Amino acid sequence: MTAVDIRPTAIAETCHNDDTGKQDVAAASTSHPRPSGAGAVVWEALNDAPGSTVAAIAEATGISKATTARTLTTLEKMGHATRLRGTRKGGKRTPDIWHPVTVAMTSEHADTDDKPSTAEKPAQRPSGDLDEPNAGHDPGSGETAETQDIAQSTPETELDAAAAAEAREALSTLAAAINAALKALNSGNRSEALTATETVYSGSAKARRLVRAAVNGRPRSSSGRVRCLPGEMRAKVAAHLAAHPGAEFTPHEVSKVIGHSAGAVANALDRLVSTGEAEMTCERPRRYTAARPSQDAAALPERTTA
């Protein structure tokens, strides 16, 4: 028995068959409408490389991962594609493996049976509107975790305005430090060159974090709150204390104002106390205030001249 595969690559491989085989292959390739747009591109790529992942097909076609995943899910629901679902290894999920669905037709049965059997009809090429993979599809009924993760990881939104402003400020500071270092080197000023270079070195990591936050969005906690960047929580708490000199606050009171958990605020307050930026005025309940300016200079007696 000779199996006939309707995939484009299989058609090329069976061109050496007899005239009957050629007619069967030709009928299989032309009896169903060819999908258009992204659906056709994804379908051809899947046939050319069975056993591919969403990422591999997206890279081969130049289509976004989100659109590729949705299109493959639609093909699967139509019976034109199947997947081997990924598993979790070491806390990470392996990607799904996709294959096209084809139905084999035997030339022996085609010669002996004048009436074609419905079970032996070649697999249909994907038809319908695949340019809109979500048409008539309920996202909550069968969409996989892979599709959801990819769709959520590729948001087509604008940059976070606040994060972008912080990133621009950090990059401007770096640019000024780089220019200062270059000028110092050109003039032979060693100390200024070293100082400016240290500023570049110490500020580069912060600038990188801010740019990534502006482009990718701030990471969020399980409750949906935006996570603070390193040092950002402490700066918020210190700013609140400085805005109310002499006032005393509990961690809970500060947390309600700045919108973060009381535990995180308490840790930030303890660090501010250790650095001398805040003072603990009461242990039970814990209360804090902004550090008072040193009074040593004011307490010294004024010098008199003879």
**pLDDT tier, 10 (very low <50, low <70, confident <90, very high otherwise):** very low
Please give the residue that has the higher pLDDT: either 23 or 126: 126
- Model confidence band, residue 15 (pLDDT cutoffs 50, 70, 90): very low
Residue 138: pLDDT above 60? Answer: no
Q: List all residues 6 or more positions away from 154 whose beta carbon is below 8 Å from its beta carbon.
A: 64, 65, 66
- Give the list of residues 6+ apart from residue 80 with CB closer than 8 angstroms, or none: 43, 100, 101, 123, 124, 125, 126
With 90 as the cut, is the pLDDT of residue 211 above it?
no
Instruction: For residues 80 and 212, state if they share a domain.
Output: no
pLDDT tens profile 46-71: 888 888 898 888 877 778 888 888 88
Both 11 and 100 in a single domain?
yes
Indicate left, alpha or beta for 295 from its phi (over 0: left) and psi (-120 to 50: alpha).
alpha
Same domain? For 244 and 280 the reply is yes
For residues 207 and 66, membership in a common domain is answered with: no
Spatial CB neighbours of 9, under 8 Å, sequence gap ≥ 6: 47, 48
Whether residue 238 has pLDDT greater than 60 = yes
**Greater pLDDT, 22 or 264:** 264
136 shares its domain with 165: no
Cβ 87 vs Cβ 97: under 8 Å: no
Q: What is the pLDDT of residues 260-298, one digit of tens each?
A: 788 888 888 998 998 899 999 998 888 999 988 765 444
My answer on whether 7 and 148 are in the same domain is: yes
- The answer to whether residues 149 and 166 belong to one domain is no
Beta carbons within 10 angstroms of residue 86's beta carbon = 16
CA distances from 159 to 144, 150, 176 (A): 28, 19, 24
For residues 100-128, give the mean pLDDT: 51
The H helix count followed by the E strand count for the chain is 14, 8
> In total, how many domains does the chain have?
3
CATH of the domain at 267: 1.10.10.10
Domain that holds residue 106: 3-153
Whether residue 197 sits in one domain with residue 243: no
In this structure, the answer to whether residues 201 and 248 fall within a common structural domain is no
Task: Check whether residue 102 and residue 212 sit in a common domain.
Answer: no
